[in-house]
A = this chain, B = another copy of it.
Amino acid sequence: MDGTTADKRRGMSDLRRHRLRLEISREASRLFWEQGVAATTGDQIARAVGLSTRTLWRHFRNKESCAEPVLLRGVEWETSMLRDWPRHVSLEDHFTSHVRHYTLTATRTDHLDDLLAVQMSVLARTEPAIRAAWLMACDQTQRELAEIIAARVDLPADGLLVRMHAAAASAVIRAHSEYIGAALLTGADPLQFADAPRRIARAVHAATGGAVGGVPAA
């Protein structure tokens, strides 16, 4: 599934860069959660990963953005789902099957990442720095969503309509993520959100005025 493709080209491959950023983000998020953002120094994060502080700042523009990769994985779930969404399948059906597939194939690391993501999204409620990182991650998601939608409806990704739909869809996903995350961290039963995919799919469908989510030629 995640076999490291042999990268023969020059420079650090995007994959390796991505992996390293995620690794850093994991440690940073853990520290943020355990001892707070303010009390966590760049040196601590760097040492936890086994890097020099200088290298840390080469990979992240500031402390708060260290949380972004973990936060992104929290919604990457939804975007990756949308990415390979067959044209002739409704969003609702595809979403539910995708969730089923995820729960079957998810590794231990995946679950740990999910936990970290939830923790960060909760931390975002009180820590402005993390909130900014969360919003930046969602913004990133929104731009990817715009690409996906653009390809679907065959319109330019930087057009107003596509951007509106992407914004609305991503906002709906974000609202759900925050809501569920908050509920889970206060001890809610995960099974309570079993029908979340269906609800999210419908909400996305509704928020985009029916443009995203249905079957093209019904």
User: A78 CB to closest chain B CB, in angstroms?
Assistant: 14
Chain A 161-173, CB within 8 Å of chain B: the 1/0 string?
0011011101110
Q: Does A98 contact B (CB under 8 A)?
A: no
User: A120 CB to closest chain B CB, in angstroms?
Assistant: 15
Cα distance A176–B179 in the bound complex, in angstroms: 26
| Contact-residue bracket for chain A | 20 to 34
Interface of A, helix, strand, loop or mixed by DSSP: helix
Number of copies: 2
With CB as the reference atom, state the residue of chain B lying closest to A182: B158
Q: Does A184 contact B (CB under 8 A)?
A: no
Cα distance A52–B47 in the bound complex, in angstroms: 36
Cα distance A176–B159 in the bound complex, in angstroms: 11
- What 4 A-B pairs come out closest when comparing CB atoms? A171-B171, A167-B171, A135-B135, A206-B209
